[in-house]
Amino acid sequence: MFSSEDIYMSVDTGRTWSVENSGLDPSEDIISTTLAVKGDTLFAGTETGVFCRTSGEKSWRSAQGNVPNNAVWVLCSSSDAVYAIMGRGLYRTRNSGMSWTLIDSNSTWHLNPSTLLVQDSVIIAGIGIGYNSNVSTNLGVTWTAGHIGSTHSSVNALVLGAGALYAGTSEGVFRSLDHGTTWTAVSAG
């Protein structure tokens, strides 16, 4: 769990919580929606980059690798990598942040990125109002701008479940059965 200034951790399924900020600059805010887990490593995005800590470690360490210090908008993990929208680009690391590969520097990444989901070769990013999603079916080689709901809808969450992709938007929940190509409303918001 996190607030704008602290990361809270629980080791007893939520009965007790402790602030776990050691290694982070106390003047930085922990930007919301920027925690990701890969194996036994927890990643956190801040105003100046990515930090991580492995289970059992008591302090955060930089996972910025070869990327300039940028605000981290969104983090997510897949079965083999961690992805981050930082500055104006989408990046991937497969070695716990020692090095990052720029996947795409599309100019829309800075337009209120809100959520990111990666599964197999599909990457779907919620990027705010208007063309509120970017979809790639080939791990970022090509992209299609799309709409989930109307052009006034913002995408707040993306999750996989029961063979479908779900998007939580300002207009309700939408479902896609074709990797985000088409969407159907399943609730009103």
Tell me which DSSP letter residue 7 carries.
B
Mean pLDDT of all residues belonging to the chain: 82
- pLDDT for residue 109: 63
Confidence tier at 98 by pLDDT (50, 70, 90): very high
Burial class (CB in 10 A: 0-12, 13-18, 19+), 176: buried
The three-state DSSP-derived secondary structure of 10-29 is: CCCCCCCCEECCCCCCCCCC
- As a whole number, mean pLDDT of residues 107-136 equals 76
What is the tens place of the pLDDT at every residue in 43-54?
A: 988 888 899 999
- As a whole number, mean pLDDT of residues 92-102 equals 93
